[in-house]
A and B are shown apart, each in its own frame.
Chain A
Amino acid sequence: MAQAFAATRPRAARRLRSPYSPSPSGAVLSYAVLGFWAIVVLFPIFWIFVTSFKLPIHVLDGPVYLPFIDFQPSGHAWRYIFVDLRNDTLRPFINTVVVALTSSVLALALGTAAAYGLLRFPYRPRLGAILLLLGAAGLAAVAVAAGVPWVPAVLAAAILFLVLRRWAGQRIGRSFGNDDIAFWMISQRILPPVAVVIPIYVMFQRLHLLDTQLALIITYMTVNLPIVVWLMRDYFRQISIELEESAAIDGASPFRIFLSIVLPLSTPGLVATFLLVLVFSWNEYLLALFLTSANAQTLPLSIAAQNATRGPQWWYMSVLILIMITPVIAMAIALERYIARGLLVGAIKG
């Protein structure tokens, strides 16, 4: 059993190092380039850190670089953000944490299920059924716009669809396959958020969900589904099917197989995808801007809000940025191995 397990572990787990060690001059060059880029990466972060301790006059008059040497650091920005604005900082922070975590977990749940389904079960939706689904959804939308309460409208549309499904499928029989469905799901990522944000706003307004965490969670989850499906599908592909087939023969249900065999095997992929989706949700600005006012405001909005009528308040902004990146960086450092391994999908040779 252990052998079978080892044989089916994804190739990526057998991390091999480049057998090539650079020559001394090559090593020097490598360190120079890598070191240069490390400075390029770290300098802006250093600047943010230092700016958070500056008084306005230190920022506006010209650059000062080192605390205690070039200028007297002041904690006024930190005090303002943490003490004066206490709840107005805590609330966005909690919103960001809750929304990002929940939407990532949900996206992962739905996305991995869909990815697995697309890989193991045959779907053959017919064009007729798809058109019927779109038509029913459209009718429901028009009804709701005309004032019909949305519960009966959606229910009616669902019943219409279920009843006429087969008939429509037979009338227009062109059928699609799993790959088509996968392509459709992944292509939803192409959608620019700015194209769909106003209808989403109106939808949530009708449901009285504006300015709530739930609205953001649902939206982020849906926006990130394509990435999860894409990455996990390619990750699952590497898992040999024999293990699952033998479990099926033993009588396990598909759910058991999925939960107790496939998911544990794909942990690196799951972790990496989770982190990627988490970072996207954590840092997202445009959708949060449209869908929230004050109660569900997230931290990126707080940062942008520091640019009010007086121009950007660099010092407050720096504190907020530092608050935002500290948890994410801590997570990234701790799970850096998983990120790399998990993101490497679908095309490992050998």
Chain B
Amino acid sequence: MRRSLGIFLALLIAAALLPVLPVTAAPGQFAGVTVNVLTFTGPQIAEPLQRRGPAFGRLTGAKINVVTVPFSDLYQKILTDMATGTNSFHVFVFAPQWMADYVTPGYLEDLTPRVNADTALQWNDIGTFFRDFSATYGGRIYTIPLDGDFQMVYYRTDVLQRQGLQPPRTWEDYLRIAAATHKKDLNGDGRADFGSCIAKKRNAQSYWMVWSVAGNFLQAKGTSEGSFFDVDSMKPLVNNDAFAEALRIYVETGKYGPPDELNWDVGDSRGGFTSGRCALTLDWGDIGTLAIDPKTSKVKNKVGAVIIPGTRRVLDRKTGKLVACSSSTCPHAVGGINHSPFAAFGGWSGGINKAAPAKVKEAAYAFLSYMSQPAQANADVTIGITGFNPYRVSQFRNTALWVKAGMSQAAARNYLGAIEASLRSPNMVLDLRIPQNQRYEQVVLDTAIAKLLAKEINIQQAMKEIFDGWEAITNELGRDKQLAAYRATLGVKR
């Protein structure tokens, strides 16, 4: 009895002392901090986060916990996590296009002071567009760019060469090339192939593809001019000759495409292009790395990229008509052609939950900065599986990394040259980023385009449907509020 009492007392004292005993300290300033990162089920985007998390942990002692949800639910999950106060995540890797719905209610942490004090990040190495527009909202920085999303046109160098065609500079060129290459056998398998493959499936990526065409006609005076609405009246810019012409071109590309193009999403169009069945395609940067992967590609080193084809006629906003490009109407034209590369979706970036504990926020920022720093980022953008596309100036200067990944020197120079031309363009189109932009784009715009492509309505009706739909949403949410938000998303303040 005495002995067991003694043992019991000893255990009790030991248990009491346990918290006081010195714990083996982990190296680094964030020892014991766990950062929960939410993004979508990859491997794209999630893989580099998961791969580099442990390395970051060794440097700083923080534990990076990457959680993934299906892509189509990411927007919802982020919003409901913050809006309902659940706050189980500290870092979100998402598309800046969604920022409007997260910043307006005040859910995201303002990163401006941290970025300004961070030299390792090399903020000025990041492309101007991503720095000043994508990561910024209302003049404050809310995200760290990890990826550069903008669209380019890709073409088969061998096919164009065979037919003596030059890469397209305008959309009329694009249609001409598509017509000339349609129904020819482009990959040697005996089947007729297609001139142009664009992801036109409803509720997938079609509403970005159409804007890659339309933006060129609608915006010529620089990013701040905006392409969706008039900056003074908030009237949608979809009821005019320029948008009609863009729709006409978009519908006509279907003449030179696969018969079931209406059901092709970006997986099908990329698959079609890399298996050699398409002469032209419109896509984000992934084709560059997908084309050199032997598991997916039959067109290695036969792929060229070019800045989005432009137009020689742009919209005159006062009259609603198309006018020829001149130095006053198209100040940024190259060779008389106005190009407006569309930064569709914005480029995956990391944002921080404002409601996270202070120490976790510090660790979270350090992790995002780590991921974006050239030492890590420049390697990741050359690896296809990461899903990261170039967004830093230093990334498209150095062809060595790309050659190491498997591209030929010529292909690398061509690919990076197209990226550079796009990134350096002062006329990049910023994706719509006002509150509830999903309803504008995914509900109204996408449905109208789907019906137009299905020939349920004609171009005039489609334009009217988009106009009416957008006006209804704007009026419902408050015209002045939406206008202020639209202006804020296009403005730059430091």
Q: Which residues of A contact B (CB under 8 A)?
A: 55-57, 59-62, 76, 88, 201-202, 205, 210-211, 289, 293-294, 297, 301-302, 304-313
Contacts and interface: CB of A to CB of B under 8 A. Distances in A.
Contact of B298 (A57, A289, A307, A312): A57
B289 to A, nearest CB: 11
Given A61-B275, A61-B298, A310 B70 contact: no
A310 B285 CA distance: 12
B170 interface: no
Contacts of A76: 295
A4 to B, nearest CB: 56
Interface string B171-198: 0000000000000000101010000000
B185 to A, nearest CB: 13
A59 B86 CA distance: 41
B478 interface: no
A60 B286 contact: no
A305 B70 contact: yes
B70 A304 contact: yes
Contacts, number: 89
A325 to B, nearest CB: 20
Contact of A309 (B38, B44, B295): B44
B70 A56 contact: no
Contact of B267 (A294, A304, A305, A310): A310
Nearest to A303: B70
A289 B40 CA distance: 13
A128 B89 CA distance: 47
B68 A294 contact: yes
A201 B297 CA distance: 43
B70 A62 contact: no
A59 B296 CA distance: 9
Given A57-B275, A293-B77, A311 B270 contact: yes
B102 to A, nearest CB: 17
A62 B69 CA distance: 30
B69 A294 contact: yes
B331 interface: no
B38 to A, nearest CB: 8
7 closest Cβ pairs, A-B complex: A311-B267, A60-B271, A305-B41, A305-B70, A294-B67, A61-B275, A308-B71
Contact of A308 (B44, B187, B275): B44
A335 B275 CA distance: 45
Given A62-B189, A293-B38, A293-B77, 6 more contacts: A61-B277, A201-B80, A205-B80, A293-B81, A308-B40, A311-B268
Contacts of A62: 189, 191, 275
A210 B296 contact: no
A316 to B, nearest CB: 10
A59 B271 CA distance: 9
Nearest to B42: A308
Interface in B74-90: 77, 80-81, 84, 86, 88
Contacts of A88: 68
25 contacts: A55-B296, A59-B271, A60-B271, A60-B272, A60-B275, A61-B275, A61-B277, A62-B191, A205-B86, A211-B88, A293-B88, A294-B67, A294-B68, A297-B69, A305-B40, A305-B68, A305-B70, A307-B71, A309-B40, A309-B44, A309-B45, A310-B44, A310-B266, A310-B286, A311-B265
Contacts of A313: 267
B73 interface: yes
B40 to A, nearest CB: 6
Given A61-B298, A205-B84, A311 B71 contact: no
Nearest to B275: A61
A202 B44 contact: no
Interface in B244-275: 265-268, 270-272, 274-275
Given A56-B271, A293-B77, A305 B69 contact: yes
A61 B297 CA distance: 9
Contacts of B266: 309-311
